[in-house]
């Protein structure tokens, strides 16, 4: 999925010198000749460490209105079918990680405003969203290059295999960061060809610093920070992770970094140099059973991106501390219980790297307006959070065991 590009990216690239590599002319990606040129450019910058493609994947361009219609149809079909019930969205609303007043089709609105293009692994095709504005051919080439990298990932690695790396919301964000990070890396190298720039002269540090700061600002200012954190952070942090591998080992270094993929988003926040220092510790206790009148409906691990989204609600005036505490994540368990009327009880067990980090989050919550609706309990490096739509049952098992001192 291709995100929109921000103006400071061009500034980071503009400091580069001229390149001796082949030049790619900005072109109209609706034309087959342009599609072929971009395809070949992606092949060139990505290298031959995997088997070459046999053909260009099918492509289509649709309006944003058509894209909305397709999303709404998918949502209606899912609601009418036997798919899993969405307990996560209302649970996150209880914690103010998603706007409690968000409309039922809020996710559709978010996707329509955020997604510029996507690769459909089931159809092995690329879709580009035409928003009806005056087109920027150079930006369009970037977008197409990004989606062609996803098509290459599907052919080289296979999304069936990639999906086996996912076991939770957190690992989904970590894997998504790798997938989008590689696409951003090679998108930028294709764009460097358009600008006749030497890739080795790109100011990657400035590029990523500005991008991460911009994304964090959008998370802080958004009423549904969980959505922006989950979908937005994976791009700059994934790019930062794989650019580091590329600078050290070119295309082979990228392949090796993908093979040793991070198992948690906290590792991506820490950076590749500290990857294994931020691997979460194993849990020693099982999940608690449901209290009387309830059933357990969801057991998740949300990860540090999600913890950052929550911390921005608690620490609205201290984004630096919110980021620090999210980076100190050392595992979590997000448990949702529902009664027969689908009233929810939410238990979020957060484990930090130190007791001091857990205490700082606990103290911040006690001073936050959210404290009115969220109960918290501190135990060493663990912080228990409770929220519910009806009054939350007093249930001792929620507070027992769970690897606590």
Residues 7-47: pLDDT tens digits? 444 535 444 444 445 778 888 887 888 888 999 899 899 98
Among the candidates 238, 273, 308, a domain finishes at 273
Judge whether residue 347 has pLDDT over 70. yes
Is 104 or 347 the better-scoring residue by pLDDT? Answer: 347
pLDDT at 8: 44
**Residue 326 tokens, joined:** 């999210």
pLDDT-derived band of residue 53, with 50, 70 and 90 as boundaries? low
Question: Under a CB-based contact definition with an 8 Å cutoff, are residues 374 and 362 in contact?
Answer: no
**Which residue shows structure tokens 């080439």?**
141
Is 7 or 131 the better-scoring residue by pLDDT? Answer: 131
pLDDT at 158: 84
In a domain, 378, yes or no: yes
- Which contiguous run of DSSP H or E holds residue 63? strand 59-63
In a domain, 330, yes or no: yes
pLDDT at 262: 78
Same domain, 174 and 245: yes
The total number of structural domains that make up the chain: 2
Is 184 or 273 the better-scoring residue by pLDDT? Answer: 184
Same domain, 227 and 306: no
pLDDT at 258: 87
- Who contacts 56 (Cβ-Cβ below 8 Å, separation ≥6)? 35, 36, 39, 148
Q: Which percentage of the chain shows pLDDT scores above 70?
A: 86
CA atoms of 333 and 271, how far apart (whole Å): 23
Q: What is the mean pLDDT of the segment spanning 108-124?
A: 79
pLDDT at 113: 73
Judge whether residue 401 has pLDDT over 70. no
pLDDT at 123: 86
Same domain, 113 and 206: yes
pLDDT at 275: 59
Same domain, 256 and 354: no
pLDDT at 15: 45
In a domain, 404, yes or no: no
CA atoms of 171 and 232, how far apart (whole Å): 15
Neighbouring-strand partners of residue 334 = 300, 348
225-232 and 303-314 helices, crossing angle to 10°: 140
The SS3 of residue 129 is: strand
Is 8 or 392 the better-scoring residue by pLDDT? Answer: 392
pLDDT at 405: 45
Its pTM stands at 0.87
Same domain, 310 and 242: no
Kindly report, residue by residue over 132-176, the tens digit of the pLDDT: 666 688 888 998 999 999 998 988 888 888 889 899 999 999 999
Same domain, 147 and 239: yes
Kindly report, residue by residue over 185-243, the tens digit of the pLDDT: 999 999 999 988 888 888 999 999 999 999 999 999 999 999 999 999 999 999 999 99
Same domain, 234 and 313: no
pLDDT at 399: 83
Q: What separation, in Å, do the N-terminal and C-terminal C-alpha atoms of the chain show?
A: 43
Identify the domain containing residue 305 by its residue range: 294-399
Is 5 or 96 the better-scoring residue by pLDDT? Answer: 96
Same domain, 154 and 115: yes
Among the candidates 205, 238, 273, a domain finishes at 273
Is 7 or 130 the better-scoring residue by pLDDT? Answer: 130
**Mean model confidence pLDDT for the chain:** 85
Judge whether residue 300 has pLDDT over 50. yes
Pairing of strands 344-352, 382-388: antiparallel
Kindly report, residue by residue over 61-96, the tens digit of the pLDDT: 888 888 888 888 887 776 676 667 889 999 999 999
Same domain, 141 and 224: yes
């Amino acid at each position: 999925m291709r995100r929109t590009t921000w103006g400071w990216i061009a500034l980071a690239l503009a400091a580069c010198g001229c390149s001796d590599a082949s030049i790619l002319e900005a072109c109209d990606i609706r034309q087959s000749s342009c599609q072929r040129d971009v395809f070949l450019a992606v092949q060139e910058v990505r290298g031959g460490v995997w088997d070459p493609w046999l053909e260009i994947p099918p492509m289509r361009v649709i309006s944003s209105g058509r894209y909305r219609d397709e999303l709404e149809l998918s949502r209606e079909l899912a609601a009418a079918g036997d798919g899993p019930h969405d307990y996560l969205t209302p649970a996150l609303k209880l914690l103010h990680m998603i706007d409690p007043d968000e409309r039922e089709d809020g996710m559709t609105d978010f996707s329509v405003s955020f997604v510029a293009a996507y690769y459909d692994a089931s159809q092995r095709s690329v879709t580009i969203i035409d928003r009806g504005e005056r087109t920027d051919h150079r930006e369009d080439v970037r977008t197409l290059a990004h989606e062609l990298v996803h098509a290459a990932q599907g052919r080289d690695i296979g999304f069936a295999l990639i999906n086996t790396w996912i076991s939770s919301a957190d690992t989904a964000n970590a894997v998504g960061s790798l997938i989008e990070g590689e696409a951003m890396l090679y998108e930028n190298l294709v764009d460097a060809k358009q600008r006749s720039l030497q890739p080795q002269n790109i100011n990657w540090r400035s590029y990523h610093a500005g991008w991460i700061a911009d994304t964090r600002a959008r998370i802080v200012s958004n009423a549904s920070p969980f959505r922006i954190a989950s979908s937005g952070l994976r791009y700059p942090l994934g790019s930062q992770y794989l650019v580091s591998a590329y600078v050290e080992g070119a295309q082979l270094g990228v392949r090796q970094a993908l093979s040793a993929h991070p198992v948690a988003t906290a590792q991506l926040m820490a950076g590749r140099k500290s990857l294994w220092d931020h691997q979460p510790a194993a849990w020693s206790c099982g999940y608690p059973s449901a209290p009387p009148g309830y059933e357990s409906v969801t057991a998740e691990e949300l990860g540090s991106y999600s913890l950052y989204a929550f911390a921005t609600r608690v620490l609205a005036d201290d984004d630096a501390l919110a980021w620090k505490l999210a980076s100190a994540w050392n595992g979590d368990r997000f448990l949702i219980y529902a009664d027969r009327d689908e009233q929810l009880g939410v238990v979020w067990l957060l484990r930090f790297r130190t007791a001091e980090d857990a205490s700082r989050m606990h103290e911040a919550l006690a001073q936050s307006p959210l404290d009115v609706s969220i109960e918290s309990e501190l135990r060493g490096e663990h912080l228990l959070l409770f929220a519910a739509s009806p009054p939350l049952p007093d249930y001792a098992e929620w507070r027992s065991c769970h690897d606590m001192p």
